[in-house]
Amino acid sequence: MGPTVSEIRPGDDRQTALALATSIAAQLTAAILLRGTASMALSGGRTPAPLFDALRDCPLAWDKLVIVQVDERWVATDHPDSNNHLIREHLLQGAAAAARFVPMKNEATDPYQGQPDCEKSMQGVPRPFDIMLLGMGDDGHTASLFPGAAELADGLSTQAMTLAVTPPAAPHPRMTLSLRGLLDSRRIVLQISGAAKEAVYRLALGAGAVADMPIRAILRQSQVPVEVWIAD
């Protein structure tokens, strides 16, 4: 394990969501007091939904917060697989709706055509991101940096913040932050839930190529502190 990685185990999913929401809210509040604004990049999937539910109830100067996406499937924003839909449904409710949300999906036919506009939209977001919230797939992917994807090498090396990706197995072409984009952060939080995902995480900590488990690019870097929040 690299020197930048720490593990936190608050308890079950609910306890983890509440503890992490409190921690994130405190950091965002401090950032807003210091710089007048804050930014946060959010992943989708099932794991962060309880965190979003807890975070939206935290007392924050939401109108000073800019929220972006870590990755997005190129589907309609009301599609069940849309991360945009997840964020709006679980986080951007009540007072939290005052946050400025910068979605990845645009009007382009596919993410390859949409990438230039997506890249441009990132230029107006305060960076480094105060919070980078990541998940991890059973294959060791993070964001939409998938093992076996034709775009993986570019995603790990490009100086662009974003790139379009077609996963080799998962559905839907996607837009994702590149490794450079992921590391343009002050704090990276990796959420892990359940024994199966923890086993994948333990495997990623071991020897092996980054290309086989792209989460290793996050776990092995020394640029940004990484907190691994593990729910039992």
For residue 28, give its domain range.
5-147+160-192+218-231
Q: Tens of pLDDT along 203-213?
A: 999 999 999 99
Amino acid letter, 226: V
Overall domain count for the chain:
1
Do the beta carbons of residue 104 and residue 42 sit within 8 Å?
A: no
Q: Tens of pLDDT along 71-96?
A: 999 998 889 888 999 999 999 999 99
**CB under 8 A, 24+ apart: contacts of 152-160:** 152/211, 152/214, 153/211, 154/178, 155/179, 155/214, 156/210, 156/211, 156/214, 156/217, 160/115, 160/119
Assign 3 a pLDDT band (cuts: 50, 70, 90): low
Q: Is 24 contained in some domain?
A: yes
DSSP readout, 34-62? HHS-EEEEE--SSTTHHHHHHHTTS---G
Do the beta carbons of residue 54 and residue 19 sit within 8 Å?
A: no
Q: What percent of the chain is modeled with pLDDT above 70?
A: 99
Q: Is 203 contained in some domain?
A: no
Half-sphere exposure of 180 (CA within 13 A, CB side): 12
Assign 45 a pLDDT band (cuts: 50, 70, 90): confident
Q: Is 226 contained in some domain?
A: yes
Do the beta carbons of residue 189 and residue 130 sit within 8 Å?
A: no
Q: Is 27 contained in some domain?
A: yes
Q: Is 81 contained in some domain?
A: yes
Q: Is 32 contained in some domain?
A: yes
Q: Is 155 contained in some domain?
A: no
Do the beta carbons of residue 75 and residue 103 sit within 8 Å?
A: no
Q: Tens of pLDDT along 180-192?
A: 999 999 999 999 9
Q: d(Cα 13, Cα 18) in Å, to the nearest integer?
A: 9
- CATH number for the domain harbouring residue 100: 3.40.50.1360
Q: Is 207 contained in some domain?
A: no
Which residue carries 């359940």 as its tokens? 194
Q: Which residues pair with 71 in a beta bridge?
A: 176
Predicted local distance difference test score (pLDDT) of residue 1: 46
List the Cα angle 178/19/230 in 5-degree steps. 60
